[in-house]
Amino acid sequence: MRETGSNLGNIRTVAFVGAAGTGKSQRAQFVADYLDADYIIDDGLVIRRTTIVCGKSAKAERNQIRAIRRALFEYEDHRTSVISFFNDAAPCSVMVIATSEDMAHRIIRKLGFPAPDRILHIEEVATPEEIARARKERSGKGQHVIPVSHVLVRKNFAGKMVGRLRVLWRSKSPYDGEKTIVRPPFSFYGEVHIEPEAIEQLAAYIASKVPQVLKGPVSKVYSTATDSLSIEIDLKMTPGPSSILKVAETVRLRVAKSVGYFCGLSVYNVNVNVTGVEF
């Protein structure tokens, strides 16, 4: 929700979407020129013409969970500084780079920007061979591209500097030049895997802390982890000042927010089934 009196409503947004490691950052400035975007938001950074003007890189985080939360602007100080910057910069146009349309919409909503005018997918600007080559570099070497110069990245990055990349796309911008290849700190520690049981235990714990939910283990929690997460909870309640529907809605909202916050996952829905009331 945009604050009253802010200039964020004067921002035009577009999105550039593609799976992780498919070469989005490599083509960022080229696509930004094509979509007529003044600024690029990429993994927590705000970039203008290969210069970092605001934000903090998710690639500087020490693990993947923190990196996801950083990219989604979950940290209040990070989010506030970026919103303040764009409140001063408006009117302008912004291109959000994301791994899915859902992620792009989440970032745009988090920052209080208007809905995107257009969403462009990596498959529209890269061949299958180029995408496959980019995926190989990511999976084999753990290397990421940041679309800014080597010197600027060094000031804003805590991981390993691997090298520089200069690709001459057919771009109208004289700034579409050097990119920096990095290896984020979390690449050194392997992949993060969250067991479904851990999600279920977290959801059960959060639900049990809501007033009028019967203390003790929640009956059942089902989680389906695909591209986004669906959670189903069976629980019992005790009588109290709030209606059953209001308590169930509180459980639903708290579980969705907490699982998304602590696990860095996109929660598609939470269904709460009240199996009984004990007096």
The per-residue pLDDT for range 97-119, each reduced to its tens digit, is 998 999 999 999 999 999 999 99
Domains and CATH numbers, the chain: 8-189 (no CATH), 196-277 (3.30.70.1350)
The C-alpha atoms of residue 96 and residue 72 are separated, in whole angstroms, by 11
Residue appearing with tokens 């996801």: 68
Sheet with strand 229-237: strands edge to edge? 220-225, 229-237, 267-277
Low-confidence ranges of the chain (pLDDT < 50): 4, 149-172, 174-177, 181-182, 188-190, 219, 225-227
What is the reported pLDDT for 220?
57
Contact 90, 52 (CB under 8 A): no
What is the reported pLDDT for 168?
39
Per-residue buried b or exposed e for 5-30, using 16+ beta carbons within 10 Å of the residue's own CB: eeebeebbbbbbbbeebbbbbbbbbb
Strands 178-183 and 160-166: antiparallel
Contact 221, 259 (CB under 8 A): no
The C-alpha atoms of residue 250 and residue 233 are separated, in whole angstroms, by 13
How do residues 212-252 score in pLDDT, each as one tens digit?
998 655 545 555 544 457 888 888 899 999 999 999 999 99
Contact 29, 39 (CB under 8 A): no
What is the reported pLDDT for 61?
77
The C-alpha torsion from 94 through 171 and 160 to 123, rounded to 10°, is 70
Task: Find the largest Cα–Cα distance for the chain.
Answer: 72
> Which amino acid is residue 77, in one-letter code?
D
pTM to 2 decimal places: 0.60
The C-alpha atoms of residue 4 and residue 12 are separated, in whole angstroms, by 18
